[in-house]
Structure formats: structure tokens, C-alpha cells
Amino acid sequence: MYFKWILLSLALCTAGYTNAIEIITSEPKNSSVIDADFVKAIFSGRVRYWPNGMPIKVITLPKNSKQHLELCKVFLKTHPRQFSRNWDIIIFSGFGEKPTEVETELEVIEKIKATPGSIGYINSDNGTEGLNVLFTK
Amino acid sequence: MSYSLNSHLKAALVFIASICSFTANSFELGPVQIHGFLSQGYIYSSGNEYLQGSDSGGTFDFSEAAINFLYRPTDRIFLSSQLISRNFGDAYSNEKDIDIDYMFLSANLHASSTNEFNINLGRLKTSYGIFNNSRNIPFTHVGIISDQTLYNEYDRHLTLYGDGISLDFKHRADFGDLRLVYQNAILADDKRDAFATAPEVADMISDFDDVKGQVLYLSYSLPNKGIDFSFSHSLIEADKIVIPNLYHPTLTFFNRYWRQKAKNNILSARYRSQNYTLTAEYINRSIHHTFDNQIISNGVIVSEESIQKTDSIYLQGAYRFRYDIEGFISYHRAVEKTNGETDYNTPFNKFRKQWVVGSNWDIFEDTLLKAEMHFIDGNFDMIKEPGINQDGIDRKWNMFVMQISYKF
């Protein structure tokens, strides 16, 4: 009985960490100009416009979510606190909009499908039809 | 430059910011995004009166409320503004019930995967150093009272913003990110703004031209390595300041034309890893004073010049112990000389050596508590002379500062 629970727990834990972070966007994928550094610059607030001039809208999950922590740690290689501080500098110096925070991955996908110029991240590959996956990390 | 409304509006701003902060994380009124913050501080100093009343039981006379708006009518244009109400002891800034922190139009003229070019018009924060654009926002940096030679609290109307234009160019390359900003603005059109640290001088001035400033800001970043370098150069000019009659025990001046030209060179460096940040900033400031057309009482016309030079550096290390707790320590050193010599008008006011130890604690997602302790030797750029109490001036003194802030 205990062995079954241990196996189930291990499976759940493993499932939680094997899915990589996927960066998804509604913008057309153009790998020659949108590289990993460009996407990192977007999430750090250092780039505000897509190459076609469309303003970038960043969609985030809650700051204590597993996906957000992984985005910061694995992809951006920054501390989540530093992520928030970067955006506070942008918001309170008047140079950009705050990222839109949604609660679930499904909401991330729906928001990105409905918002031109938006970019976000999820931890699964479900429901991304019609969106472009820029990177998997 | 001054924009003063009555105290009812000040109360209204604080009220609106309070209501907003307790009802939502942020607001969107149609296409307008709204944010803001509230802060309340406490300052206790062991000796010199850093803030009015700080050395006699401490003072809570240190608070801010701000609300900002951003509206994007088209993809490439947005309008942005922040109104702020500030209380800081007996500082001149308190006379402005509500101040416009910034209010500008930003237009993107070019965007590609490697370049971005924007033009900004209106009241703009002055771009220098690492923190000036956001130095009055508690959530954007560790510590409460930043280095006072670079980011002076009393002199903020002259150094924090200006009315003008800025050109902002960014370039991304394999060797790193470059950013170049050129700013040309009127920094002060009011003698009280220009002489906020010395109101007794402002009172003597009869005629005053705008204080104009130009800033060149160049930064180089290696984002993947967490390294930032920047160089800021600013030229600040006050072409005509007339003091009609200045009576001195031995001499009397009539129509004293005073011109000031200040040059600031600032070097900044920062390294950020996941858990710690190292910051260093150095400023070299030179203020050239020229007194022309002085007619002293015996009828002799004289001209006089003097140069004030300041060198100041600070080093800061910050470490994140947990997601919500960060500690820091910093060392500051500054010295000012006039014509190559240290001139003590006020005891110990031409140098400063300072240690600061403090921490930030994110009590909740949007609530930040900060506390810090200053150990200070000297007073340079720390105390405003009219604020000194009757007990005299201490060379070595300590200061404790706490601040709680809420953002939405």
C-alpha cells in the first residue's frame, strides 16, 4: 500500500519537473531575428517592441507559481525578486505597461490567442494550436 | 517648473491612492493603465538634524503617495504621467502639494530585432546613474536613503526631472547591449527649485534665468552575465542670477551677476547574479561660479571666479537570503574642495565617510518593509544648513530609517 503511494508521489513529482518551459507568442515565428536573447530582453523589459513595430504585451503566471519560478531560474537566470524589480522600474518610471498576470496556463493560452503582440510561457504543450512556440527550455 | 495645487488636492491624491491600493492590484480605466504607491517612513538621527525633528525623538514626517497613468492611443505612441505628493521634513518640496513627477509623450520611430529608437517629449526623469529614473520609488532598489551626493533628497527638484526632450537609442549585438540617451531640458524655472538646499540664497535673488541641462547617458550591458556599465555626463547651466544688494560687514555688492556651470561625470557598474548584486558608482562634479559686474562700495568693478570640485564613490553589496528578504551593506565616501582647498563654512560639511547596513522584507506581494542604519563621519550632502538645530553639529553621528510601502 505504502509502496503504491510512494510510486504515485514520485510520478507526480517527476511529472511536475519533466515538462519544460515553453515560450509562446501570437506573433509569427521568425527564428532569424527572434533569438533567445531577444526573448530574454522582452521578459526583462529591455525590449518593448517587436521587430514589426507592434508593442509587446507580456503575460505572466502568478509569481509563486512553479512555471514563473522556472522561467526566472532556468530561462532568464535571474531571481524572481529581480524580475519584479525590473518591471517596477519600468512601470513607475512611466516607460511601459505592467505584464498581465493570469492564474492558469489555459488563461495564458487564451489571452495570447486574443491579444496581438503578446508573449507568455507555459509548462505543457496542450492547446497551443495556432500559437508559435519560440523556445522550449 | 513649479506646479502647486491646494492642500485639498493633496489630500485627494492620498485618498485616491489609498482607495486604489486597498481595492485592486492595478487599475485599467478603459485603455488607461493605472498604478501607484504609498509609503510612510520614520527617521531617527543621533545628532545632526537630518530631517526636521529627527534628532529629538525621531520623525514620521517622511511620506509619499503617487499615482501614475499610461495610455497608448496607437501602437507606437504612448502618454505617461505620475502625480506625486511628498512630505519630507521642512524641505522645500513640501510646499508643492502635488507635483508632476513625469508627464511625457513617447514615440517609437524605429524598431527591429537589434535596434530601437524612441523620442520622448514633456516632463522627463533625468537619466543618470543607475537609479535616478526610479530613485523615489521604494520597490525599485535596496535601501531607503540612497547615496546623497548622487541622489540628494533635498535637491530633487533640480536633479530628478526636467521639461524637454530625450532621444533614446538601443542596440543589441553579440558583444552586448548598448543604449544611448541624449536629454535636453529646463531643469528649473523657479529660483526656489534651483536653490532648494539654500532657501536663504533664493530669497536674495531678484532676477533668475532658467536652469538648463543636457545629459548624455551611455550604457553597455552583458545581460546573460548580469553585468551593466554606464557613463553619464551632464552639463547644467544657470546663465543669469542677479543678487541686487548684498550687504557684508566690510563690503557692499550691488547687482551681482552670478553664473554657474556644473559638469557631472558619473561612472556606474553593477553585477547581478541570482542571489546577490554588487553596485559601484563614482561621481566627479565640478561647479564653476562666475561673479561679474560687481560694484563694491568704493566704486571698483571686479570679477571673481571659483571652482567647487566633488569626488564621491559608493560601493554596495546586496544578498537575497530568501525570496522575500534581502540584506545589504554599503560604503560611501565623498569630499568637496573649493579652488583646491577644503573650505569649512559649516563644521565637517565638506567630507563624508559612511557605512549603511539594512534589509528589505516583502511582507506581502505588494507590501515592502525596509530598515537601515547609517554610521556617518562628516556631513557633506547630508544636512541642510537651515535645518541644523541649536545643539551644534556633530562630526560622527548615526541615523536609523524605516519605511513601509504599498504598491498597486
Q: What are the tens digits of pLDDT across the range B135-154? A: 889 999 999 999 999 998 88
Return all residues near B2 (Cβ < 8 A) that are at least 6 apart.
Answer: B96, B189, B190, B192, B193
- Position B246 scores a pLDDT of 63
Give CA B219 to chain center in angstroms.
20
- Position B300 scores a pLDDT of 64
Looking at per-residue confidence, does B288 or B252 come out higher?
A: B288
Mutate to test the interface with B, among A91, A98, A115 (most CBs of B within 10 A): A91
Return all residues near B189 (Cβ < 8 A) that are at least 6 apart.
Answer: B1, B2, B163, B210, B211
The radius of gyration of chain A's CA atoms, rounded to the nearest angstrom, is: 16
Looking at per-residue confidence, does B252 or B206 come out higher?
A: B206
| Exposure string for B149-168, b = 16+ CB within 10 A, e = fewer | bbbbbbbbbbbbbbbbebeb
- Position A28 scores a pLDDT of 74
CA distance B58 to B51: 9
CA distance A131 to A133: 7
Q: What is the mean pLDDT of chain B?
A: 86
Interface of B with A in 81-100 (CB under 8 A): 81-82
pLDDT at A69 over 70: yes
Would you say A135 and A36 are in contact if contact means Cβ atoms under 8 Å apart? yes
Interface of B with A in 319-338 (CB under 8 A): 320, 323-324, 326
- Closest chain A CA to residue B161: A93
Q: CB neighbours (10 Å) of residue A132? A: 17
Would you say A58 and A48 are in contact if contact means Cβ atoms under 8 Å apart? no
Dihedral (C-alpha) B38, B42, B45, B46: value to the nearest 10 degrees? -160
- Position A12 scores a pLDDT of 43
Tens digits of per-residue pLDDT, B160-199?
899 999 999 999 998 999 999 999 999 988 777 777 777 7
CA distance B96 to B4: 5
Tens digits of per-residue pLDDT, A13-35?
444 444 688 899 987 766 567 88
pLDDT-derived band of residue B247, with 50, 70 and 90 as boundaries? low
- CB proximity A91 to B under 8 Å: yes
Tens digits of per-residue pLDDT, B4-60?
445 666 666 666 666 665 555 667 777 899 999 999 999 999 988 888 888 888 999
Residue A50, C-alpha cell as written in the block: 517587436
Please state, for a pLDDT cut of 70, what percent of chain B lies above it.
84
Q: Which amino acid is at B140?
A: T
pTM above 0.90, yes or no: no
CA distance B187 to B212: 6
Cα angle value A41/A92/A62 (rounded, 5°): 60
**Could you give the C-alpha distances from B109 to A98, A99, B170, B336, B363, in angstroms and in order?**
22, 23, 12, 43, 41
The radius of gyration of chain B's CA atoms, rounded to the nearest angstrom, is: 22
- Position B209 scores a pLDDT of 83
**Looking at beta carbons, which residues of chain B come within 8 Å of A52?**
111
- Closest chain B CA to residue A39: B113
**Looking at beta carbons, which residues of chain B come within 8 Å of A41?**
172, 177, 223
Tens digits of per-residue pLDDT, B327-381?
999 999 999 988 877 666 667 888 999 999 999 999 998 999 999 999 999 988 8
A102-111, B80-89, B249-258, B288-297: least confident range: B249-258
Strand (E) or helix (H) holding A8? helix A2-18
Mutate to test the interface with B, among A83, A93, A134 (most CBs of B within 10 A): A93
pLDDT at A9 over 60: no
CA distance A61 to A106: 11
Tens digits of per-residue pLDDT, A32-49?
678 888 899 999 998 989
**Could you give the C-alpha distances from B338 to B307, B325, B335, B341, in angstroms and in order?**
6, 43, 10, 5
**What is the arrangement of strands in the sheet containing A132-136, beginning at the earlier edge strand?**
A100-101, A57-60, A118-122, A22-25, A132-136
**Looking at beta carbons, which residues of chain B come within 8 Å of A44?**
223
CB contact under 8 A, A52 and B111: yes
pLDDT-derived band of residue B229, with 50, 70 and 90 as boundaries? very high
**Looking at beta carbons, which residues of chain B come within 8 Å of A42?**
none
Region B193-210: what's the mean pLDDT?
Answer: 76
The residue among B130, B179, B123, B180 whose CA lies nearest residue B150 is B130
CB contact under 8 A, A81 and B323: yes
- Position B2 scores a pLDDT of 41
Q: What are phi and psi of B18, to 5 degrees?
A: -65, -45
Q: Which amino acid is at A128?
A: T
- Relative to beta strand A22-25, strand A118-122 is antiparallel
Mutate to test the interface with A, among B113, B119, B217 (most CBs of A within 10 A): B113
For residue B200, give the DSSP letter.
H
- Relative to beta strand B77-88, strand B62-74 is antiparallel
CA distance B351 to B75: 50
The alpha-helical segments, DSSP class H, found in A33-75 are 36-43, 66-70
- CB proximity A66 to B under 8 Å: no
**Looking at beta carbons, which residues of chain A come within 8 Å of B160?**
none
- Relative to beta strand B252-272, strand B227-247 is antiparallel
3-state secondary structure of B95: helix
**Could you give the C-alpha distances from B388 to B47, B56, B315, B363, B396, in angstroms and in order?**
10, 12, 28, 35, 15
- Closest chain B CA to residue A75: B224
Mutate to test the interface with A, among B81, B172, B274 (most CBs of A within 10 A): B274
Residue B387, C-alpha cell as written in the block: 535645518
Return all residues near B170 (Cβ < 8 A) that are at least 6 apart.
Answer: A46, A47, B115, B116, B117, B177, B178, B179
Tens digits of per-residue pLDDT, B307-317?
999 999 999 99
CB contact under 8 A, A51 and B113: yes
- Position A13 scores a pLDDT of 44
Return all residues near B243 (Cβ < 8 A) that are at least 6 apart.
Answer: B204, B205, B206, B253, B255, B256, B258
Q: What are phi and psi of B159, to 5 degrees?
A: -110, -20
Instruction: Say what the ipTM of the complex is.
Output: 0.85
Query: How many beta-carbon pairs below 8 A join chains A and B?
Result: 111
pLDDT-derived band of residue B303, with 50, 70 and 90 as boundaries? confident
CB contact under 8 A, A98 and B33: yes
3-state secondary structure of B61: coil
Looking at per-residue confidence, does B79 or B1 come out higher?
A: B79
